[in-house]
Chains A and B, each alone.
Chain A
Amino acid sequence: MVGIRSFGGYIPKTRLARDEIAKAWGSGSMGGEKAVCNHDEDSLTMAVEAGINCIEGIDPKTVDGVYFASTTPPYKEKQSSTLIATVLDLGRETITADFTDSLKAGTTALRAAMDAVKSGSAKNVVVATADARPAEPESMFEQTFGDGAAALLISDQDVIATIEETYSIADEIVGLYRRDSDNYVRQFSTKFDSQFGYSANMVEAVSGLLKKSGAQPGDITRACLYAPDPRSLLGVAKALKLDAKTQLQDPLFLGVGDTGTPLSLMMLVNALEKSRAGDTILVASYGDGSDAMLFKVTDNIETISPRRGIDAYLNSKMPIGNYEKYVRYRNLMQKDKGTPFSSATLLWRERKQNLSLYGVKCGNCGQAQYPMNRVCLKCGKRDKMEELKMARKGKVFTFTLDYLASGPELPVPRTVIDLEEGGRIFLQMTDCDPQSVKIDTQVELTFRKIHEGGGFKNYYWKSRPAMG
């Protein structure tokens, strides 16, 4: 049976209290906080982390597809899924595709992955979805939107939840949109979209799914319904005869916000984290129609090794002190920037090293080393190197806090890391209180945006304090 073999989630550590936004504009606060990409994150880096969590413990060479879904991919032309596949260290014979332009792109990618596996054209497909949507300052969206990611491995082996049924509708409406020339997400009329778009589409798709599958609303253990805000969700639940208290999966509004494309799948991941064999999970997305899906949790849920989904990140947080910092993180106020050096040709040669994080191990003396080099730094032997995938964990050998760096957060911790399985690497540290960095601090590596030297996006690794 085709279904979900594994899952992973991601929520940025940085959070902005909605009160701070309200304070900035002298408006009312919706309460709670929203997850906001750190200044070195975007939809791609978030999808990478969710993807890494998802294939934890699974040989990446057995994964043969990556579908990335987002309305905010880093490039208008250039595929993100290929970069994600490279960072995940998948083989070259991988099918990659980006699903975009609609908030239902995540569930559509999931359905396409399911079809690919079902047809036998692929065996294990990662669906990684993330968004960091641009909200107009002072708009309602500025308070409601949050950032996050989810990833699911679709397979026909070791599935923890089978895909029982799908039902999709396409419905043309100018609801949420962003033209090529728009800076922010727009909505012609909130009331109109809520009634004739969101509510109508969700109810139609879920009703259609239930009818097609023969299930009753009462059969649903968890309903993961996309929700632009909690109130709209209650309306849909009521129309579908779902009990808000016992059946609705938390839409993460108070702690994360409306993450857009990944939201319903983040809710699914969160539901899977707490589910038991036999549970029935409903998922429905919204955007130019709706995709609805029904999953049945299998016995494998009891034996899947622990992995980071949503829960691990919900309480791992760091407040952005004020609205002004959020403005800088989001590039809403532009400072003059230098033009760092970069070279697409140089980075192309080094893609295995910089993206898949390979170093070398000397076949003569056994010294692990990074970056790759030809003459051993320890024994001096030439070309005895074997490729070595570096561990993404280690501890701080030494560090400094750099107060002269440029960027929105100073000082920048710079850390020399001894990696767990050998080798040493020198990385910026992110997502931390700089003053807490010490020698021997346990760290893990995280994939981030570094700069836009050369006129393109330069991604690389940083360190961050190890999560519990």
Chain B
Amino acid sequence: MSLKDKVAVIGVGCCKFGENWTQSQEDMLVEAAYDAYGDARIEPSQIQAAWVGIQYASTGMAGIGLADPLKLYGIPVTRCENFCASGMDAFRNAVFSVAAGVYDIVMAAGVEKLMDAGSRGLPGTGGGHPFIGGVSAPGMFAMAANRYMDKYGITKETMGKVAVKNHYNGAVNPKAHFQREVDLETVVNAPMIASPLGRFDCCAMTDGAAVAIICRADMANKFRDDPVYVKGLGLSVYTGQPNYDPNFDYLGFSSTQHASSEAYKQAGVSNPRKEISFAEVHDCFTITEILNYEDLGFCNKGEGGKFIEEGISSIEGELPVNPSGGLKSFGHPIGATGVRMIYELTKQLQGRADGRQVKNPELGLAHNLGGPGSVACVAILGW
């Protein structure tokens, strides 16, 4: 059974991403949700169920993390936590509930308040193992970068071009965290975070919230004449301890490969390079975007470097990737990111991505990756 064309996105909302010192998670959720209500032209009381992606308990616990700020009382509200893919998994659960015929109109939200944690990198989640496991996010992807550089001979410059591209796109996006371009020299010479990844190879710490309102496909035109439809949705989980798996090659993530092939199958996509018009992918680190090109089937194994070098993923390119600015420039409030990608896909497909609009998009792909490559979620939206 395919999900294709059963569910429509009728409204999206997003707050300004950034170091939102003066805003609480409530402020950001209220902004994003009322932006989405307005976009969908519905009243809050029309929401029948909701899911919210939150990674850190300090941002919010349980369903009340969303229900309390929005006063969404009396309906089912569920917190969804699946590492950095929490937001898109919230969207996925919302879509399934509508596709199953249980609800007509539901909300998928994502939020993270990282700056209140006061840590230099992502805050700890507490518990876990005293010493087995434990690598920072930059550390994990840096180990992939070292292996990839050794195998395919790409340089820091190649990775740096991902940052240059995404900052170029984000520079004109009014809701992006960093609305400024960076040059390659700055990226390559930035202080090291986890070798070979420097500061500009890494996405920053960002606060933000995003909301999508979805409904049954057959009623979408009642709300607007340009709804977009869910064509495919896949999620895949692999090990949380890849560093102990003797068969893991660090050259890509099985989770992304499986989630995307599932989504392609549902959407009827057989040649993603040709059929996907543009993509919002999980560029938590520059190397990750290069690995994503390959894992998503945009190019062959080992050709991710060429893909960025040749400008295929630039906004004017054949397959623009991260026209929003991506996690690098738009920001990555963990639980919010997956829903923020749905926001961007919708705006682009509707031709409402001012200043960063890709040409004549028909199918957009969003890809959310969590943990040390442990969980990936891929959504394909289109007309």
Contact = CB atoms under 8 A, between A and B. Distances in A.
B193 interface: yes
A439 B146 contact: yes
Interface string B122-146: 0000111111110110110011101
Interface in A385-425: 397-405, 411, 414, 416, 418, 422-425
A94 interface: no
What interface size band does chain B fall in? 35 or more
A460 B133 CA distance: 12
Majority secondary structure of chain B interface residues (helix, strand, loop or mixed): loop
A354 B195 contact: no
A126 B206 CA distance: 56
Interface string B237-256: 00101011111001000000
Contacts, number: 97
Contacts of A341: 126-128, 130
A404 B147 contact: no
B147 A426 contact: no
Identify the interface centre among B244, B246, B250: most chain A CB within 10 Å of its CB: B246
A399 B194 CA distance: 10
A354 B146 contact: no
A369 B244 contact: yes
A403 B130 contact: no
B244 A414 contact: no
B244 A424 contact: yes
B345 to A, nearest CB: 33
Interface stretch (A178-186, A297-305, A450-458): A450-458
Contacts of A100: none
B310 interface: no
B147 A400 contact: no
Contacts of B239: 377
A445 to B, nearest CB: 14
A418 B132 CA distance: 16
B120 A404 contact: yes
Nearest to A460: B131
A426 B133 contact: yes
A79 interface: no
A405 B138 CA distance: 11
B191 interface: yes
B237 to A, nearest CB: 14
Contacts of A354: 131-132
A404 B130 contact: no
A145 interface: no
Contacts of B355: none
Nearest to A435: B195
Contacts of B244: 369-371, 424-426
Contact of A414 (B120, B126, B135, B147): B135
Nearest to A368: B246
A343 interface: yes
Contacts of A398: 143-144, 146-147, 150, 250
Contacts of B196: 400
A402 B139 contact: yes
Interface string B143-172: 110110010000000000000000000000
Contacts of A399: 143, 146
A347 interface: yes
A342 interface: yes
Contacts of B195: 400-401, 403, 411
A346 interface: yes
A445 B133 CA distance: 16
Nearest to A458: B130
Contacts of A458: 130-131
A367 interface: yes
B192 interface: yes
A414 B138 CA distance: 12
Contact of B246 (A400, A401, A423, A460): A423
A402 B126 contact: no
A118 B146 CA distance: 57
Nearest to A425: B244
B145 to A, nearest CB: 8
Given A422-B246, A426-B244, A402 B143 contact: no
A94 to B, nearest CB: 25
Nearest to B194: A400
A450 B134 CA distance: 12
A450 B144 contact: no
Contacts of A401: 192, 194-195
A403 B245 contact: no
Contacts of A424: 243-246
A340 interface: yes
Contacts of A422: 246
A382 interface: no
Contact of A403 (B126, B133, B150, B191): B191
Interface string A261-285: 0000000000000000000000000
A414 B143 contact: yes
A378 interface: yes
B121 interface: yes
A458 B250 CA distance: 30
Interface string A366-381: 0111110000011000
Contacts of A367: 246
A251 to B, nearest CB: 37
Nearest to B202: A404
A354 B130 CA distance: 11
Contacts of A377: 239, 245
Contacts of A460: 131-132
B131 to A, nearest CB: 5
Interface string A358-371: 00000000011111
A416 to B, nearest CB: 5
Contacts of B243: 416, 424, 426
B121 A342 contact: no
Contact of B142 (A347, A400, A439): A400
A426 B246 contact: no
Contacts of B120: 404
Contacts of B143: 398-400, 414, 416
A342 to B, nearest CB: 4
B147 A450 contact: no
B194 A342 contact: no
Contacts of A369: 244, 246
Interface in A422-461: 422-426, 439, 450-451, 453-454, 458, 460
Interface of B: 120-121, 126-133, 135-136, 138-139, 142-144, 146-147, 150, 191-197, 239, 241, 243-247, 250
Chain A to chain B: the 4 pairs with minimum beta-carbon distance, closest first: A426-B243, A400-B142, A342-B130, A401-B195
Given A341-B128, A370-B244, 4 more contacts: A398-B250, A403-B192, A404-B120, A424-B243
Interface of A: 340-343, 346-347, 354, 367-371, 377-378, 397-405, 411, 414, 416, 418, 422-426, 439, 450-451, 453-454, 458, 460
21 contacts: A341-B127, A342-B130, A343-B130, A371-B244, A378-B247, A398-B143, A398-B144, A398-B250, A400-B195, A402-B135, A403-B191, A403-B192, A404-B136, A404-B194, A411-B194, A424-B245, A426-B244, A439-B150, A453-B130, A458-B130, A460-B131
